[in-house]
Structure 1
Amino acid sequence: MIEGEGMFSLARKLETSIQYKGEEYELDLSFDNVLLLFELLNDKDCSEFDKLMIAMNILFKDSFEFDAEEMVEVYNYIMLNMIVQGQKKDEQHDLAGNVIEEDEEEKKNLYSLEEDAQYIYASFLQDYKINLFDMQGKLHWLEFNALLVSLSDDTMFKKVIDIRQKEPDRHMSAEDKKKLMELKKMYALKKTQEDIEFDAMDLAQKREYILKRQAEEGEKDG
């Protein structure tokens, strides 16, 4: 049994370790380290086994001795419970662990922590006076996400998301529609955050996710 929730709660300290088979292991869950993990998962030239080995070494501060099956179990637990924090009891959570509505879940299709790095950096500096380079190794992943989802609408990050989700309507002039489409093209993503999180899943989790999506699409069509 693995212990260590990593949930965002003001009543407790943020989790930075897990207990597995009677041993406690310290993790590096600073936001920049987790972003490094996502970059690894996006590397098409790296095999799945190599990704697993490197990911474990990124996450664990000290040495560990796990066999392949144990590594998969521990990695999946950390990813799903302490980083992505997916579904629990049929509720959907955002990256900070908060319960969210369906429309909030869809926003993952509108941003990428990797591709939008410059907008996130500028927005943190604008809203919170936080230089994210100075906070590397210090700011916990869950703290980072709590601040990210709470950025004000006048930040560049939120403005870019608004452009991506905005669609032309009949009240717009031809010039405004053209300008909007140019902006959408300028800020278009190659890969969304939802895509990146999907890459982090193992085959069984990907299958479950795809079946869930197919069921949702079937309900919409019905």
Structure 2
Amino acid sequence: MLSLTHSSPDEFIYKDKSYKVDLAFDTVLLYLQLQQDEKLSPFEKWLQSCKLFFGSQKLPSDPKFYESAFRQIQAIITDNPYGTEEIEKDGGVEATKQFDYVRDAGAIYASFFEQYHIDLNKERGKMHWDTFKALFDGLGPKTYFQRILQIRREDPTKIDDPKARQELYDSQNYYAVDGAKTGQERTAQALNNSALGSAFKSLFEDAEKGGN
């Protein structure tokens, strides 16, 4: 969560030693996408996740380090100052099915440029996830991204005019997330992936057995 009095976290302290953590918005989005790649094994996801967040730093051979580090990273990524949003069910699209960071990348980019005059391509590797999330949540109703969300939320069955109702159906089909997991669902699944947690432990258990 963004703070006006403290810098956004960019390090992880473990046993009195500091490790730099890359929490740029594009790194976090790559991480969330990585967890959805069914072609990769849990071990491969674990390795690539470590490279994304810690780069080429020498990391300890201690499972507790990774458990603690990813628990802290999870807390940062999922933190919401206003709590969890309720799921809206009123004939339209549920709140958790409204957007996808990959599918809606163009709309998000255009909306940041439109409202904040920020070129996200130039912010890769620089803008912290906390900053990105605060700006993302603050996108106004007239931005391209929010207009798409509004189309997805509307309930066509409440429109009496057949032509207008069909136009909304067509628009919803055009802007549909195509069954892809949404931003909230990606976050929830990626950060609660028990297979990754198991990979952390089994990796070092094997290493310890091999060293005995």
Asked if TM exceeds 0.5, the reply is yes
Check 1:59–1:177 CA distance in 2 against 1; reply closer, same or farther (3 A cut): same
Count of equivalent residues: 189
Cα distance in 1 for residues equivalent to 2:24 and 2:77: 11
8 Å Cα contact 1:52-1:72 kept in structure 2:
no
8 Å Cα contact 1:26-1:62 kept in structure 2:
no
Q: Do structure 1's residue 117 and structure 2's residue 117 form an aligned pair?
A: no
8 Å Cα contact 2:2-2:8 kept in structure 1:
yes
Cα distance in 1 for residues equivalent to 2:126 and 2:83: 26
Cα distance in 1 for residues equivalent to 2:48 and 2:57: 12
Cα distance in 2 for residues equivalent to 1:12 and 1:177: 49
Look up the match of 2:39.
45
Q: Do structure 1's residue 82 and structure 2's residue 76 form an aligned pair?
A: yes
Cα distance in 1 for residues equivalent to 2:129 and 2:95: 19
TM-score by length of 2: 0.80
8 Å Cα contact 2:86-2:95 kept in structure 1:
no
User: Alignment identity in percent?
Assistant: 29
8 Å Cα contact 1:124-1:132 kept in structure 2:
yes
Q: Do structure 1's residue 14 and structure 2's residue 8 form an aligned pair?
A: yes
Cα distance in 2 for residues equivalent to 1:71 and 1:172: 59
Cα distance in 2 for residues equivalent to 1:141 and 1:76: 15
Secondary structure, aligned partner of 2:19: strand
**TM alignment of 1:1-222, pairs within 5 A:** 7-67=1-61, 69-70=63-64, 72-85=66-79, 93=80, 97-103=81-87, 107-189=95-177, 190-200=180-190, 201-203=192-194
Higher relative contact order (CA 8 A, sep 6+): 2
Look up the match of 1:213.
none
Cα distance in 2 for residues equivalent to 1:54 and 1:16: 19
Give how far 1:107 is off: 3.2
Q: Mean Cα displacement is larger for which, 187-196 or 75-84?
A: 75-84
Cα distance in 2 for residues equivalent to 1:8 and 1:131: 20
8 Å Cα contact 1:18-1:26 kept in structure 2:
yes
Cα distance in 1 for residues equivalent to 2:69 and 2:152: 33
Secondary structure, aligned partner of 1:133: helix
* Larger Rg over CA atoms: 2
Query: Could you tell me which amino acid in structure 2 is paired with residue 137 of structure 1?
Result: G
Consecutive unaligned residues of structure 1, counting only runs of 5 or more, are: 1-6, 86-92, 206-222
TM-score by length of 1: 0.77
The alignment yields a C-alpha RMSD, in angstroms, of: 2.4
Give how far 1:203 is off: 2.6
Check 1:29–1:136 CA distance in 2 against 1; reply closer, same or farther (3 A cut): same
8 Å Cα contact 1:56-1:71 kept in structure 2:
no
Check 1:192–1:18 CA distance in 2 against 1; reply closer, same or farther (3 A cut): same
Look up the match of 2:202.
none
Cα distance in 2 for residues equivalent to 1:23 and 1:62: 16
Describe the superposition over 1:122-166 as per-residue Cα deviations: whole angstroms up to 9, x where unpaired: 000100000000111111111001000101111110011111111
